[in-house]
A and B are shown apart, each in its own frame.
Chain A
Amino acid sequence: MSAPARTIPIARAEPSGAFEYIATKKDELIGWARKFSLFPYPFVTACCAMEFMAVSATPYDTDRFGAALPRFSPRQSDLLMVVGTVTHKQAPVLLKVYEQMCEPKWVMAFGACATSGGFYQNYAALPGIDRIIPVDVYIPGCPPRPETVIDGIMQLQDKIARERHPILTREF
């Protein structure tokens, strides 16, 4: 007679009647899912890119917030991160990228230049991307500290969680 095989006992998945169904609101459920699966599109034009890399890398790690996987196609992303100075010559490109993103979409102005033009007030620089596209969260700083960026992401998550998430949009 051979010894019986030593196996780890597996709990039997039988319906117990407890926690089989939950009741929640549709907006809360969808908002909870969306706020932890932000796919950013980095529209990176200037020196803030260094800080964007720093906040994406291991010590600060935006992956903790579900916002780590940059999609380099606007059609696959739902968060437009405008990182750096946008000039008047680039403004049509930024607008086209924004228009190509599918709903739902959010926009983050990363750093002083994207927020307000920063210290550039001249013929070349766009004084804030909110002149041409709507912005959801502004991150100050020249460049912003990684903690500031993370705070901005968390504020955006709160905003998404509070938002309405219609299944049929106006454009549908």
Chain B
Amino acid sequence: MSAVFDRIKDAFAREAPGAAVSHGILVLAVAPADVLAVVARLKEEFGFDLFLDVTAVDWPGEPLRFEVVWHFYSTRDFVRVRVKTRVPEADPTVDSLVPLYGAARFMERECHDMYGIVFRGNADLRPILLYEGFVGHPLRKDYPKGREQPLVPYREDPR
């Protein structure tokens, strides 16, 4: 396991200088502009052929508020790698991974629903778990806990 990780660390010494293993997963923190190139090399050169998930972390009050996190799995070496990047609230845009992994299409829609991350290159960012007309992004820390947006008007006098 560590041999694979060492090769990846050496290969991405420029893009992800602080790469380290955390809980058995290699973590690569890269710049938003490098994401697509790094993931393409992970897939082509290191055999990370399974796209597991994309999600985001909200750090309120920080200048680069959102952290977008991808996980990949190698069915050749049986190891996982995590790629992270930080984007500002004003322009939460990262490159879509749809050209590399078809599974990214739906997962990026979910991440767009919940956090409002914009995936440049994903042509279909319609709501997938939420519904048309939903205002805001419910997993952001500033979304009010009790705010509901019902589709059916409530009855006048529910017993």
Number of A-B contacts (CB under 8 A): 42
Chain A positions 50-104 with a Cβ under 8 Å from a chain B Cβ: 88-89, 91-92, 95
Q: Say whether B159 faces chain A, with CB atoms less than 8 Å apart.
A: yes
Annotate B117-159 by CB proximity to A: 1 below 8 A, 0 otherwise: 0000000000000110000001000010111111110110011
Q: Is the interface of B mostly helix, strand, loop or mixed?
A: loop
Q: Is A131 an interface residue (CB 8 A)?
A: yes
Q: Which residue of B lies closest to A132 (CB)?
A: B152
Contacting pair B152 A91 (CB below 8 A): yes
Q: How large is the interface on B (under 10, 10 to 19, 20 to 34, 35 or more residues)?
A: 10 to 19
**In the assembled complex, A124 has its CB within 8 A of some CB on chain B:** yes
Contact of B148 among A88, A130, A132 (CB under 8 A): A88
Is B158 in contact with A88, judged by CB distance below 8 angstroms?
Answer: no
Say yes or no: A91 contacts B130, CB within 8 Å. no
Q: Report if A88-B150 is in contact (Cβ < 8 Å); known contacts: A130-B155, A134-B159.
A: yes
CB-CB contacts below 8 Å: A124-147 with B: 124, 126-128, 130-135
The main secondary structure of chain A at its interface with chain B is: loop
Instruction: Identify the closest chain A residue to B134 (Cβ).
Output: A123
> Of all chain A residues, which has the CB nearest B158?
A130
Closest residue of chain A to B144 (Cβ to Cβ) is: A123
Q: Does A24 touch B at the CB level, under 8 Å? A: no
Partner of A121, one of B130, B145, B152, B155: B145
CB of B145 within 8 A of CB of A95, answer no
Cβ B145 vs Cβ A122 within 8 A: yes
B138 contact set on A, CB distance < 8 A = 122-124
A131: B residues at CB distance < 8 A: 150, 154-155, 158
Q: Closest CB of chain B to A128's CB: distance in Å?
A: 7
- A130 surroundings in chain B (CB, below 8 A): 155, 158-159
A91 → chain B, closest Cβ, in Å? 4
Interchain CA distance A95-B152 in the complex, whole Å: 8
Of the residues B147, B151, B159, contact of A91 by C-beta under 8 Å: B151
CB-CB under 8 A for A89 and B158, given A122-B138, A123-B143: no
Q: Cα distance A88–B147 when bound, in Å?
A: 12
Task: With both chains docked as a complex, state the minimum distance between the C-beta of A130 and any C-beta of chain B, in angstroms.
Answer: 4
Find B150's partner among A91, A121, A122, A134 (CB 8 Å cutoff): A91
Contact string, B1-30, partner A, CB cutoff 8 A, digits 1/0? 000000000000000000000000000000
Listed in ascending order, the chain A residues whose CB lies under 8 Å from chain B are: 88-89, 91-92, 95, 121-124, 126-128, 130-135
Q: Which residues of B contact A (CB under 8 A)?
A: 130-131, 138, 143, 145-152, 154-155, 158-159
A-B contact pairs, 17 of them (CB 8 A): A88-B131, A88-B148, A88-B150, A88-B151, A92-B151, A95-B152, A121-B145, A123-B138, A123-B143, A124-B138, A130-B158, A130-B159, A131-B150, A132-B152, A132-B154, A134-B159, A135-B159
